[in-house]
Amino acid sequence: MKGIRIETTVLDPNRLASFMVGETLVMPCLGLPAYDADILNYYERDYAVFVRKRTNPTGIPFEGNTLTVQESVTEYCKKAAGSLGLKAIHDMDLMTNSRGETVILEVNPRPSGSIATSMVSGFPIIDWAVGGLFYQF
């Protein structure tokens, strides 16, 4: 089955084994709200986090996002970035689990494609990152 992607939602844990054929990835079902976050490490002490709520979580076609202040999401991203020892700019994609908790879907070693939202909102994160190379914050 190489190259074939099959998604199945299993609501009854007792039936899970019947769906597992060959190599199987099992993960919780994640839902909305969904967020993107750009994380910038500065002075190796702290992180600047810019959280955007996705307008249409699948992104096809991209319909935009909204810069938002979600303190719980911001603190979660800072804690995760610190635990992972992230340096420079990284992108985190986050979704919500069945208990309403925000969880990381993935961490990318680059800015997000929607970093422009932060920049046009008055947060020159790229300038800050370049300035950080020369310790000019």
Whether 39 maps to a domain, the answer reads yes
Q: Quick check: 88 and 126 in contact, CB under 8 A?
A: no
Whether 72 maps to a domain, the answer reads yes
Q: How many domains does the chain have?
A: 1
Q: Quick check: 49 and 74 in contact, CB under 8 A?
A: yes
Residue numbers of the domain that contains 60: 31-133
C-alpha distance from residue 10 to each of 3, 80, 90, 94 (Å): 22, 29, 32, 22
Count of Cβ atoms closer than 10 Å to residue 39 Cβ: 26
pLDDT per residue over 50-103, tens digit each? 999 988 877 678 777 888 888 999 999 999 999 999 988 999 999 999 999 999
**Structure pTM?**
0.77
Pick from 129, 79, 120, 85: nearest CA to 94: 79
Whether 22 maps to a domain, the answer reads no
Whether 5 maps to a domain, the answer reads no
What CA–CA distance (Å, rounded) separates 51 from 65?
10
Whether 10 maps to a domain, the answer reads no
